[in-house]
Amino acid sequence: MAKHDRHFVNVFSAVLGILIAIALLLIGVSRLVDSGPKGARDTGDPLMQASAHERIRPFGQVAVAGADNVALAIQQAAVPVAGALAAAPDAAQPADGKSVYESACIACHGSGIAGAPRIGDQAGWAPRIAQGAATLERHAIDGFQGQAGLMPAKGGRPDLSDEAVRKAVEHMVAQSR
Ligand code: HEC
């Protein structure tokens, strides 16, 4: 072999050796990285699968005639959106005071937002209850500007019947004395 050729073979072997070493190193590293949560990914852990399904759930769903479409029923938004409400004055009224409260009043009265007396706050409700049920109901139905803030008529839900609001007041008062 010529001197040049020998030199070439030497350098070539060295480079090849280094590349092989790097390849082995990468294989080792990838094993290491991969070994961690292996079970979680492909053992079919129901919790992981459920949360994955929840995340990749389609935005829209199709109601099929004749099938059970109960799960597709439109949920009432917790915080009423003006406009959408007035559009549905004949929507089914919530049956009892608790559900009226939870759909229309809890946004403010649940945590005492904007000066609303918090449900269950006996000290806050005592002087209001002392005004008598008729006054409370009138304030809830017609709206009321007090010292603490503005109580919007029917809590901003004109679609609610007076009777439904009355029941919600009863529920809130019963929970707060
Ligand atoms: C946007 C917030 C908000 C919503 C929603 C809301 N309220 Fe109120 N409510 C208030 C505030 C604020 C007050 C306190 C006003 C004051 O005394 O200054 C109040 C006061 C009241 C009072 C006491 C009135 C009085 O004379 O002391 C009643 C009863 C009441 N709300 C019932 C309801 C009912 C029933 C609903 C649901 C149908 C509801 N509210 C939804 C803000 C709200």
Residue 177, pLDDT score:
87
What is the atom index within ligand 1 of the atom nearest the CA of 156? 5
Residue 93, pLDDT score:
65
Ligand 1 atom 28, closest CA: 140
Instruction: With a cut of 70, list the residues of the chain below it in pLDDT.
Output: 1, 35-43, 74-94
Residue 92, pLDDT score:
61
CB atoms within 10 A of CB 85: 19
Distance 78 CA to ligand 1 centre (A): 16
Which of 85, 109, 121, 172 to mutate to test ligand 1, by most ligand atoms within 8 A of the CB atom? 109
CB 176 within 8 A of CB 125: yes
What is the atom index within ligand 1 of the atom nearest the CA of 150? 12
Residue 129, pLDDT score:
94
Segment 161-173, tens digit of pLDDT: 999 999 999 999 9
Residue 100, pLDDT score:
93
Measured distance CA(156)–CA(80) in Å, rounded: 7
Ligand 1 atom 32, closest CA: 140
CB 63 within 8 A of CB 87: no
Using CA atoms in the order 95, 105, 177, 122, what is the torsion angle rounded to 10 degrees?
170
Distance 112 CA to ligand 1 centre (A): 10
